[in-house]
Structure formats: structure tokens, C-alpha cells
């Protein structure tokens, strides 16, 4: 039997991250309030906050007035104390985001592509990173790492996900070129290019992580995140942390079969931008070129029809999520147009009500919305370096002590 525990160094790092997280949630908090919230001793808090101030991760925002004795200082996150850089490589775009330590987006860049090959992705990523470096100047040294968010299975389901006519004419060559994304070669290339560590997750996990750290309203601690882009995926959040399962595939919502197969055998095919584009093409309706065109009656009717049909396709799977996981909320983010997403949520709510006897969680649009993928990528290095994760307190199984 093996038992795992924590070292004093691990506990110090965890306590440091707890304090940073608390200050992030409550700007201008005092050390006295930190002690009340955490249960840590005044001496421990003084030592840790002094270290964080010295490293410029925290800043003093005045003193608390009206207290007896020596006034207590007010602490806030130093926005310029650290940065997170994110690259989101998706089937239809490559984007970059730079977040400061408060989580505010300093820079957001995007290039439209269609199923990027290795050379194209490297060229665009290099251009984007150079623009970030120019923006930061000497503060580039404060970048904690580069986060990479990308979909799994980039080279699969091309028959339904590819909508570009030229690419569809030669899917076999496209599939061969996209095999590059089966490896972690792009992660290694990013590390070599930037000189900082790379934190990689699939886009759904990255988007859920952005919700945990960037949401303006404190998120639930147990929710299911449904990320919809050219395809779709999911991520479970349990007790305030992403849950990955035994093989790292928990939340793979897109890999569940649809109810009838009308819009594709798998949910990732049916609940997707690709599905919506195919639906418009089948109806011989042009894809709206401007945001205001989505409001026209012909599009409203099509949106309602597509949302109703797709909701029916995914309802059995979502009912299983509710039954097995019992989330507080189902959050939907990604790149569906706002009107489409709103219609889809209404249809899902109606379908789930008719198919489940259990209390239904709130279904709503994720707070980080359209940019969830790239903001999630930029969050990854900040989250991995500074967020209070329970596994920080556990020794790895290799270092665990055997107990007879």
C-alpha cells in the first residue's frame, strides 16, 4: 500500500497560490482579511505576501483606515507582474492572446485559415509571437509560458468538417498533411522558438480553464463546459478543477454518437460550425457576411430549425451528463454566432426538460464567449504557474513512501 503526502515546500507553494487567488478575487484585501479567509497564521501570511511583493506579483494599494494599532496595507494583483501568452490553433483560425497578471487581455490577434498545415501554422504563429514581443518590449521576460490550445483529431472527420471546396477536392492529401498534429512537435517548436515552457491542452479544456480564472462572476465549482467551434468537445470541472479521468479523455462529449445521425454520426460533427454551414448550403442560402444579416427572417427560420434538430441529436448525451455528473451548470462557449447559440440553448432546455426526471442545471453562455479558446490558451501558463491546485500537495507515486 502506498501513501502520498506533501513536503513543506509544496505546502508553501500551495499557500502562496491560495493567497494570490484570494487577492485576485478580492482586490485591496488586507492581510487580516487574508488570515480570516485562509486560516493561515499572521506570520505565514506576512512572510508569503512580503515575498510576493518583492517579486512584484502583488502591489500595495494604500492602507486600511479606522483600525487600532498599526494600519494594515491593502494588497492587489500587480497587472504587470506576469503575463500569459496563448496560441489557439483551430481548424478555421489561428489566434494569439496576451493576458496580464490580472487576467486582462492586453493583445488579441487572429488569422483566418482552413485546416492549417505545419508550415502555415508555424509561419502565422511566429508572426503573432513577434507582434506580442514588440508589444511587451523588456517585459517579455515576465511571460510565464506559452499556452497552446488545439483540437484533438485534427486529421479526422474531414468528409463532414471540411467545407472549403478546393480542400474537399483532395481530402487524402489534406489528411496526410494534417497527420502532423497527431504528435507534440508543435509544442516543442513553440518552446524552442520562445524560450519559455509550453502548456498544452485541447481547446475545450483550455476554454473551461479560462472560465475558472477569468470569469467576472465567480464560476460554479462543478460544471460541464461545451466548446463549439468547427467541431465540438467538452470538459468536466469538478470541485474547481478540470477533471481528466483515467486516460485524460474525460469530457470527450464530441465522441458520443448522435441520436439519429441526421447531421453526422458523432456529436462533434452535428454540434458544430461545420454542421451549420452544411445546413445553410443544403438550403442554398448564403452564409451571412455581416452580423446584422443574421437578424433577417430567412436566417431566423433556418437557425431555429437547425437548433431544434441538433438539440434533439445531442439531448440523450446531455441527459447522461446530467445523470452521471450532476453539474451545477452547463456552459456553452466557442464560436457559434450569438443568435445561433441563444436559439440552441432554448432548444436544449426544452428537449432536456422532456427527457430527464432529474433537476436540470442552468444552461447558459460561458462568460469568456467567442474568444474562449485563445483566452484559455493564454490562461494555461498563468493557471499552471499560480493557481491553487490540490495536486500540488501530493507527492508523485514515484516518491510516495511504502507503508506496511
286 part of a folded domain: yes
Looking only at the bridges linking them, the beta strands covering 83-89 and 143-150 are: parallel
146 part of a folded domain: yes
pTM of the model as a whole: 0.88
254 part of a folded domain: yes
pLDDT attached to residue 159 = 95
Query: Looking at the structure, do residues 61 and 191 belong to the same domain, yes or no?
Result: no
pLDDT attached to residue 4 = 42
The helix/strand/coil state of 173 is helix
Residue 310: CB partners within 8 Å, gap ≥ 6?
A: 263, 270, 271, 275, 344, 347
315 part of a folded domain: yes
Closest CA to 30 of 65, 56, 68, 82: 65
Mean pLDDT by 10 residues, the chain (404 residues): 53 88 88 90 92 94 66 88 97 96 94 96 98 96 96 95 92 96 97 96 94 72 95 94 92 97 97 96 93 91 97 96 94 94 96 89 89 94 82 41 32
Query: Looking at the structure, do residues 232 and 354 belong to the same domain, yes or no?
Result: yes
Query: Looking at the structure, do residues 197 and 96 belong to the same domain, yes or no?
Result: yes
Query: Looking at the structure, do residues 231 and 248 belong to the same domain, yes or no?
Result: yes
Print the domain residue range for 9: 2-77
Assigned C-alpha cell, 403: 507503508
> Do residues 85 and 143 make contact, with C-beta atoms less than 8 angstroms apart?
yes
Query: Looking at the structure, do residues 266 and 167 belong to the same domain, yes or no?
Result: no
Task: Kindly report the CATH number assigned to the domain that includes residue 309.
Answer: 3.30.420.40
Query: Looking at the structure, do residues 23 and 121 belong to the same domain, yes or no?
Result: no
> Do residues 108 and 377 make contact, with C-beta atoms less than 8 angstroms apart?
no
pLDDT attached to residue 26 = 87
Domain tally for the chain?
A: 3
Amino acid at each position: 500500500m502506498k501513501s502520498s503526502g506533501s513536503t513543506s515546500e509544496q505546502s508553501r507553494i500551495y499557500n502562496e497560490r491560495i493567497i494570490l487567488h484570494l487577492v485576485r478575487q478580492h482586490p485591496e484585501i488586507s492581510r487580516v482579511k487574508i488570515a480570516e479567509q485562509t486560516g493561515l497564521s499572521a506570520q505565514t501570511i506576512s512572510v508569503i505576501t512580503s515575498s510576493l511583493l518583492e517579486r512584484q506579483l502583488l502591489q500595495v494599494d494604500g492602507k486600511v483606515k479606522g483600525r487600532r494599532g498599526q494600519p494594515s496595507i491593502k494588497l492587489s494583483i500587480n497587472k504587470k507582474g506576469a503575463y500569459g501568452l496563448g496560441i489557439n490553433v483551430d481548424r478555421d483560425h489561428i489566434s494569439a492572446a496576451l493576458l496580464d497578471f490580472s487576467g486582462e487581455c492586453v493583445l488579441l490577434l487572429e488569422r483566418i485559415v482552413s485546416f492549417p498545415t505545419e508550415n502555415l501554422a508555424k509561419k502565422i504563429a511566429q508572426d503573432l509571437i513577434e507582434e506580442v514581443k514588440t508589444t511587451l518590449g523588456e517585459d517579455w521576460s515576465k511571460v510565464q509560458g506559452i499556452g497552446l490550445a488545439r483540437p484533438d483529431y485534427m486529421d479526422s472527420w474531414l468528409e463532414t468538417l471540411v467545407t472549403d471546396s478546393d480542400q474537399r477536392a483532395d481530402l487524402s492529401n489534406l489528411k496526410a498533411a494534417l497527420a502532423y498534429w497527431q504528435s507534440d512537435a508543435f509544442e516543442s517548436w513553440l518552446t524552442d522558438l520562445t524560450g519559455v515552457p509550453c502548456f498544452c491542452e485541447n481547446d475545450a479544456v483550455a476554454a473551461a480553464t479560462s472560465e475558472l480564472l477569468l470569469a467576472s462572476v465567480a464560476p460554479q465549482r462543478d460544471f460541464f463546459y461545451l466548446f463549439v467551434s468547427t467541431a465540438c468537445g467538452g470538459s468536466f470541472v469538478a470541485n474547481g478543477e478540470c477533471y481528466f479521468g483515467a486516460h485524460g479523455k474525460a469530457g470527450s462529449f464530441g465522441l458520443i454518437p448522435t441520436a439519429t445521425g441526421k447531421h453526422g454520426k458523432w456529436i462533434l460533427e452535428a454540434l458544430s460550425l461545420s454542421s451549420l454551414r452544411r445546413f445553410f448550403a443544403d438550403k442554398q442560402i448564403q452564409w451571412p457576411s455581416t452580423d446584422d444579416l443574421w437578424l433577417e427572417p430567412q436566417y431566423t427560420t433556418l437557425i431555429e430549425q437547425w437548433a431544434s434538430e441538433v438539440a434533439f441529436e445531442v439531448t440523450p448525451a446531455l441527459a447522461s451528463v446530467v445523470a452521471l455528473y450532476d453539474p451545477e451548470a452547463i456552459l456553452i462557449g466557442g464560436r457559434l454566432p450569438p443568435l445561433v447559440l441563444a436559439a440552441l440553448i432554448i432548444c436544449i432546455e426544452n428537449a432536456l426538460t422532456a427527457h430527464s426526471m432529474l433537476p436540470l442545471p442552468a444552461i447558459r453562455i460561458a462568460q469568456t464567449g467567442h474568444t474562449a479558446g485563445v483566452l484559455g490558451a493564454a490562461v494555461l501558463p498563468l493557471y499552471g504557474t499560480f493557481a491553487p491546485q490540490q495536486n500540488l500537495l501530493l507527492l508523485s507515486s514515484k516518491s510516495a513512501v511504502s507503508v506496511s
